[in-house]
Structure 1
Amino acid sequence: MSDGSLFTTVLVANRGEIAVRVLRSLRELGIRSVAVYSDADADARHVREADTAVRLGPAEAAKSYLSIPAIVAAARETGAQAVHPGYGFLAENAAFARACQEAGLVFIGPPPEAIEKMGDKIRAKATVSAAGVPVVPGASDVDIPEGGFAEAAARVGYPLLLKPSAGGGGKGMRLVHEESELDAAVESARREAKGSFGDDTLLMERFVTTPRHIEIQVLADAHGTVLHLGERECSLQRRHQKIIEEAPSVLLDEGTRAKMGAAAAEAARSVGYVGAGTVEFIMSARNPDEFFFMEMNTRLQVEHPVTEMVTGLDLVAWQVRVAAGQPLTLAQEDVRLEGHAIEARVYAEDPARSFIPTGGTVLSVHEPSGEGVRVDSWMADGAVIGTNYDPMLAKVIAYGPDRAAALQKLDRALAGTALLGVGTNLAFLRALLADEDVRAGRMDTELVDRRLSELVSSAVPPEFFVAAAVDRLLSLQPSGDVVDPWEVPSGWRLGSPGGVVFRLRTGETQAVVRVTGTPSAASVQVEDAAPVEVSASRSGGLLEVRRAGGIERYRRADGPERTVWLSREGRACAFADQEVSLSARGEAAGAGPVKSPMPGTVLVVKVAEGDVVSAGTPLLVVEAMKMEHTVTAPIDGVVSELPARVGAQVALDETLAVVSAAEEKP
């Protein structure tokens, strides 16, 4: 809207927490909002919070959130004047931006030409290099002759990083340490790039050792003003995807900050950028004076809240104002970074199992609040976490006068976050934030890989088993005005108390727990440990366990099949009172069924029934939430059964193949 007046109706072409967050700013601006949704999100939080909502199509993203005709039609149908793309999906799709323009809609983002120039990493490097911005040495499919990939890799030097030319977010990236790993990495990277972005063109770059990931937020209007809003440190990553972000970075001094900010602004100017965007740099922790351009994200970033908290600016509101033709009303000298902000991404994943996605139905959600705490989330009781979309559930952000205060506040906020019914990375995030090097600011993008075994633990604290046992005992108590004492499960018997025995399992951990007495006065023994004296009661969604050392409060929710979820201090466990065969896990490690490690889709089947395989031979590739997992043969043997088929939807622990020892083949 060239006259500068704000829009009256804006459609948000996204889902999840970013859709909820954009809706918040639209409400504050007094703008009517339109949500879109797939069948999987018909009752999602962003649908309920928008002023109106339009169905796009089935759960498959290609037929809903990635359908340009469906989104444009929804905007026309609802009288929207502009479209906010959020991030992911079509946010960096130049064809979508043009389709909006052709339909008379304002795309709240940069011009299509800027998206094209920066969306192609190969072209982006050439563009910013010509503008004087330093770039990492590398090569690409564009300038590598057919069959010359290995030779080009040798020239770039190992270790090197393979990256899709299109897209971002860590999808399709592969770190290659030596030549023997190259072919398999290229095959996997191309397949994931094609599936995620429709383009399997690859770029290879020299991998900077002890790398720090620093990005600069830029904001530009259509009147020639380009500002940089300081940096964010995004070095704590898993699978090349960020998990902790903060502003400002402890690595940068004022001189380096000014140089990087100027370089970022120049990169934006070089493509005629308008709106909010991020220029990403990489630098070595050993040489913080040297930095290299990696890419520009032509959209709002997941981690934009930390910049908002230290600058006091609402980036979404400014995106809308700029798209409406309004000029920026602040100058570079007006930008001040005050205090420190840190963000943690909460994912539906299992860090102890290489971060494979989890899923399920949210039975109960509790999110922290308070001064200096912000939560961007799409969670609600009853939300279904499937395999169709990215597994990020929420972002918890904390602000303090300095980094130490922000770290402490974020730790307590994560401790007070509970998502029952779905496995999350909350306990891992708290362990990572408590790491000595992280607290000291000695970070790089490889830290999580180096420390993963120390940061994850499958051990379940014994107090959780105590709580689960007394909670089960509470469930067994008879109700009514008149209680038959013989129906009270106290474990009483003639001569001495016998106790009630529960066989509890959570994940792969199980324990025999004996409870003597009643919930108000119980003695609980976990395996062979010394008994502890406790009393327990429930109030709403809380379980309170009192013992000599104090009071423990657990958030609880009943799950399916007599399972109870308990959460405390960021750790959540699902306890089932049932017998579990110890031999089952041993058999799985040898001959027998090979099961899916996560719910998802079979992408590739690499073997056929009757094939002779060796231990470690890739059998299939399963994909879920944009993550590939290669399933390998557990032993030397023969593929005696192969029920899995390409394109099939599979559940967690569903049998994909059966590998038998060679002599056992029927």
Structure 2
Amino acid sequence: MTTAIPVLIPESATGGPAPTVRSVLVANRGEIACRVIETLRAMGLRSIAVYSDADAHAPHVRAADVAVRLGPAPAAQSYLDIGKVVRAAQETGADAVHPGYGFLSENQEFAAALAEAGIVFIGPPAQAIATMGDKITARAAVTDRDVPVVPGLSRPGLTDDELIAAAPEIGFPVLIKPSAGGGGKGMHRVEGLADLAEALVTARREAASAFGDDALFLEHFVLTPRHIEVQVLADTHGNVIHLGERECSLQRRHQKVIEEAPSALLNPQTRARIGQAACDAARSVGYTGAGTVEFIVSATAPDDFYFMEMNTRLQVEHPVTEMVTGIDLVEQQIRIARGETLSITQDEVVLTGHAVEARVYAEDPAQGFLPTGGTVHTLAWPGGAPGLEGHGGVRVDSGIDDGSVIGSDYDPMLAKVICHGADRTEALDRLDEALAKTVLVGVGTNIDFCRHVLAQPQVRAGELDTELLDRLVVDYSAPAPTPAALVAGALGTLDLGSTDDVWSSAVAFRIGVPSPIVTRLVCDGKRYTVSALVANPESRRVPAPGAPRTLHADVTITDEEGAELWRGAVYLKPRGEHAVTVRCDGIGSRWVVQQTSGARRWVCGEDGTWVMGLAHTLASSDEAATAGDVRSPMPGTVVAVPGADGETVEAGEALVVVEAMKMEHTLRAPVAGIAQISVRAGQKVDAQQVLAHVVDPTAVDPTDVDPTDQEN
């Protein structure tokens, strides 16, 4: 039971009564909606959730006091429909709306519509959103406050020809940036003039698709850049403070993966200067609420920093700031929105320890980070249930639970795991341990990749830049399953004789010499044979009714060539539904082994997560016929068809562009030949659907062969 905090109604800066906020609609979904609702509950405020048909049974819907359906799954018909969201707020008696991040959080039309309806927008004024939402006007605004900006060309209405003409003077490499939006969408680094025209076409298409605005500008790309952002709070009485900085340099294609606070790069003097610059940027637009000012800093010249943009909302990575300052940012947003004066002065902001966050995405790092999907069958977070309080320095912000269906309609981020430590080393160690203890079965994620990143010497030493992850990805491949994982995959789904019926046991038995249990598995395209010879006689006896059987066996693991990979003694014991303990050569580990549709076995433990299947001995006879297939690697929407049906193409030539989870994926010709394209722009496609096929023109069409010429 939480104690309700009385709602104060102070006089506003204009002398009138401040708005009453007792009931808040959360115009978002997933983990951020759950996180906002938790603070609303702690403050004794009524929470109202909204949802699409795809989220009818989502955790944020159950967590709220009231929930309102917006419409079908596509965001444009639900979460992005301003009219529907405003009506939901009116019909439920909401005093205010918290937008979270993404969706309508930086939409000045949404803020204005709420103001017209007499509903408080828990965010900055619409004009501040408009100014900072346009990167060109934002650069002009902060420049007037003497905030340093990156050299470049930025003004409204720039054409491709104007950008191309200005690039040499700006200096390569250059960064193409969309004037509207953020999150890395539409951003492209270009090394030379020859590649600029094509990159501009792609950037405009992506910007128009993501933000409804294809305006672009150019900036010089700062070498060895680090992405450092500063959290600010500003009330309606003119007070502006900063809560220190966050290091967000560990990003892939401008999409953040791991963030931390504070930055290991900045000394106290630079921290004070960059914090003051962030406050000046907020003042330049009359900002109120919580916001983030992003800077680019050269790793080789950390005293020099340049303004990039301001996010006029809560950031995904805000928990690391909360953990080192002890300040609930959502609570501060609400108090500012109802007219309260900041209760914290700049001198009272103290950064204690270190915090690191990993974003858990539904994607496959080993396959170019393609989005994944599916149903969450088993889920267990480190420290138990998600929540702000956390456990042992570990906090989880999650928007999924058992049974959640992960589709392609929304962003692929599922959750965030955040850890605090007395220093940076302890925080990194704690995060790695927390990720190792995370169990997520049914949906492929980037958890193993995050652990791979955390183990890199450059990361441990704090030698970061925004291109580090892209360099690490080049040599990254999915780790091979460990012996314990293969043993769990082979034996973990067996009935080891938990009934009193000897004939139901999967443990091999025959008169005379014991027979081994032989299981052939395929994982990531590689085949393994696990041969287990039960070593202890009691493992072959019928146990007491209902008692799980402990299996002791001598196990040999070989590869597809028959080469021995591992041999040793194994102890395996069931630990409840889907869980087993596997001990190899005296080292024990706990595994979740779950068989899902298609006879796939998910094997998840502290060593990693693998999807295994029973290996088939016969190869497909139509491999040659399907060699030219171009398949969609995930469900999504065709946004462009650069190829043309019937044209001759070279291997690697772009044929179809598919968008899924807000990211574009270009599918190219696997071989040279004649393209046969079977989809059109705007068409929805399924995972593994054939979108095009490339025919080798030199191949003989069997339908053209005269049957009289064939041998009987």
TM-score by length of 1: 0.95
1:481 equivalent to 2:500? Answer: yes
1:555 equivalent to 2:592? Answer: yes
In the alignment, is the contact (CA less than 8 A) between 1:100 and 1:107 conserved in 2? yes
Aligned-partner residue type, residue 344 of structure 2: L
Write the distance in 1 (CA, Å) between the matches of 2:447 and 2:159: 46
* Corresponding residue number in structure 2 for 1:651: 686
**Consecutive aligned runs of 4 or more in structure 1 exceeding 6 Å deviation:** 583-586
Deviation of residue 512 (structure 1)? 2.5
* Corresponding residue number in structure 2 for 1:539: 575
* Corresponding residue number in structure 1 for 2:650: 614
Is the partner of 1:62 in helix, strand or coil?
Answer: helix
Write the distance in 2 (CA, Å) between the matches of 1:655 and 1:570: 35
- Aligned counterpart in structure 2 of residue 173 of structure 1, from 167, 183, 187: 187
Aligned-partner residue type, residue 549 of structure 1: G
Write the distance in 1 (CA, Å) between the matches of 2:483 and 2:622: 22
1:577 equivalent to 2:614? Answer: yes
Map Cα deviations across residues 241-296 of structure 1 (whole Å, 9 max, x no partner): 11111111111111111110111101100100000000000011011111100000
Bigger shift: residues 565-574 or 295-304: 565-574
In the alignment, is the contact (CA less than 8 A) between 2:628 and 2:671 conserved in 1? no
* Corresponding residue number in structure 2 for 1:204: 218
- Aligned counterpart in structure 1 of residue 530 of structure 2, from 506, 513, 537: 513
- Aligned counterpart in structure 1 of residue 448 of structure 2, from 427, 449, 453: 427
The 1:455–1:507 alpha-carbon spacing in structure 2 relative to 1, beyond 3 Å, is closer
Deviation of residue 353 (structure 1)? 1.7
Aligned-partner residue type, residue 49 of structure 2: A
In the alignment, is the contact (CA less than 8 A) between 1:514 and 1:525 conserved in 2? yes
In the alignment, is the contact (CA less than 8 A) between 1:418 and 1:570 conserved in 2? no
Aligned residues: percent identity? 54
Q: How does 1:262-341 map to 2 (within 5 A)?
A: 262-341=276-355
Deviation of residue 493 (structure 1)? 5.2
Is the partner of 1:321 in helix, strand or coil?
Answer: helix
1:500 equivalent to 2:517? Answer: yes
Aligned-partner residue type, residue 213 of structure 1: H
1:118 equivalent to 2:132? Answer: yes
In the alignment, is the contact (CA less than 8 A) between 1:638 and 1:665 conserved in 2? no
* Corresponding residue number in structure 2 for 1:258: 272
Q: How does 1:121-520 map to 2 (within 5 A)?
A: 121-140=135-154, 142=156, 144=158, 147-369=161-383, 370-472=391-493, 474-475=494-495, 477=496, 480-484=499-503, 488-492=505-509, 496-517=513-534, 520=551
* Corresponding residue number in structure 2 for 1:66: 80
Unaligned runs of 5+ in 2: 1-8, 384-390, 540-549, 702-712
Is the partner of 1:299 in helix, strand or coil?
Answer: coil
Map Cα deviations across residues 333-372 of structure 1 (whole Å, 9 max, x no partner): 1111111111111111111122111111101111012221
Deviation of residue 6 (structure 1)? 5.0
Write the distance in 2 (CA, Å) between the matches of 1:32 and 1:665: 70
Bigger shift: residues 409-418 or 560-569: 560-569
Write the distance in 2 (CA, Å) between the matches of 1:514 and 1:582: 22
Bigger shift: residues 140-149 or 384-393: 140-149
In the alignment, is the contact (CA less than 8 A) between 2:373 and 2:407 conserved in 1? yes
The 1:581–1:217 alpha-carbon spacing in structure 2 relative to 1, beyond 3 Å, is farther
- Aligned counterpart in structure 1 of residue 556 of structure 2, from 517, 520, 525: 525
Deviation of residue 558 (structure 1)? 3.0
Deviation of residue 462 (structure 1)? 3.1
Deviation of residue 157 (structure 1)? 1.7
In the alignment, is the contact (CA less than 8 A) between 2:82 and 2:110 conserved in 1? yes
The 1:20–1:496 alpha-carbon spacing in structure 2 relative to 1, beyond 3 Å, is same
Write the distance in 2 (CA, Å) between the matches of 1:314 and 1:320: 10
Bigger shift: residues 203-212 or 447-456: 447-456
Write the distance in 2 (CA, Å) between the matches of 1:224 and 1:455: 49
Deviation of residue 566 (structure 1)? 1.4
Is the partner of 2:400 in helix, strand or coil?
Answer: coil
Write the distance in 1 (CA, Å) between the matches of 2:104 and 2:55: 18
Aligned-partner residue type, residue 568 of structure 1: G
Write the distance in 2 (CA, Å) between the matches of 1:609 and 1:546: 56
Instruction: Tell me the number of residue pairs that the alignment of Structure 1 and Structure 2 aligns.
Output: 660
Write the distance in 1 (CA, Å) between the matches of 2:124 and 2:252: 29
Map Cα deviations across residues 419-438 of structure 1 (whole Å, 9 max, x no partner): 11011111111111111111
- Aligned counterpart in structure 1 of residue 663 of structure 2, from 586, 610, 627: 627
Write the distance in 2 (CA, Å) between the matches of 1:224 and 1:480: 72
Write the distance in 1 (CA, Å) between the matches of 2:414 and 2:160: 42
Aligned-partner residue type, residue 408 of structure 1: D
In the alignment, is the contact (CA less than 8 A) between 2:243 and 2:349 conserved in 1? yes
* Corresponding residue number in structure 1 for 2:710: none
Aligned-partner residue type, residue 555 of structure 2: V
Write the distance in 1 (CA, Å) between the matches of 2:301 and 2:485: 46
Unaligned runs of 5+ in 1: none
Write the distance in 2 (CA, Å) between the matches of 1:400 and 1:365: 25
The 1:288–1:581 alpha-carbon spacing in structure 2 relative to 1, beyond 3 Å, is farther
Aligned-partner residue type, residue 595 of structure 2: D
Aligned-partner residue type, residue 404 of structure 2: A
Larger Rg: 2
Map Cα deviations across residues 611-640 of structure 1 (whole Å, 9 max, x no partner): 11101110100111011110111111112x
Write the distance in 1 (CA, Å) between the matches of 2:237 and 2:692: 61
The 1:280–1:580 alpha-carbon spacing in structure 2 relative to 1, beyond 3 Å, is farther
Write the distance in 2 (CA, Å) between the matches of 1:227 and 1:615: 55
Aligned-partner residue type, residue 478 of structure 2: S
Write the distance in 2 (CA, Å) between the matches of 1:76 and 1:611: 55
Bigger shift: residues 283-292 or 134-143: 134-143
* Corresponding residue number in structure 1 for 2:545: none
Write the distance in 2 (CA, Å) between the matches of 1:312 and 1:584: 62
Aligned-partner residue type, residue 460 of structure 1: P
In the alignment, is the contact (CA less than 8 A) between 1:600 and 1:650 conserved in 2? yes
The 1:453–1:105 alpha-carbon spacing in structure 2 relative to 1, beyond 3 Å, is same
Write the distance in 1 (CA, Å) between the matches of 2:328 and 2:607: 29
In the alignment, is the contact (CA less than 8 A) between 2:492 and 2:593 conserved in 1? no
Write the distance in 1 (CA, Å) between the matches of 2:170 and 2:681: 36
In the alignment, is the contact (CA less than 8 A) between 1:223 and 1:327 conserved in 2? yes
Deviation of residue 455 (structure 1)? 4.4
Write the distance in 2 (CA, Å) between the matches of 1:236 and 1:416: 22
The 1:488–1:538 alpha-carbon spacing in structure 2 relative to 1, beyond 3 Å, is closer
1:56 equivalent to 2:104? Answer: no
The 1:146–1:193 alpha-carbon spacing in structure 2 relative to 1, beyond 3 Å, is closer
Aligned-partner residue type, residue 652 of structure 2: G
The 1:11–1:160 alpha-carbon spacing in structure 2 relative to 1, beyond 3 Å, is same
Aligned-partner residue type, residue 559 of structure 1: T
- Aligned counterpart in structure 2 of residue 604 of structure 1, from 640, 645, 653: 640
RMSD (Å) for aligned C-alpha atoms:
2.0
In the alignment, is the contact (CA less than 8 A) between 2:98 and 2:121 conserved in 1? yes
The 1:651–1:333 alpha-carbon spacing in structure 2 relative to 1, beyond 3 Å, is same
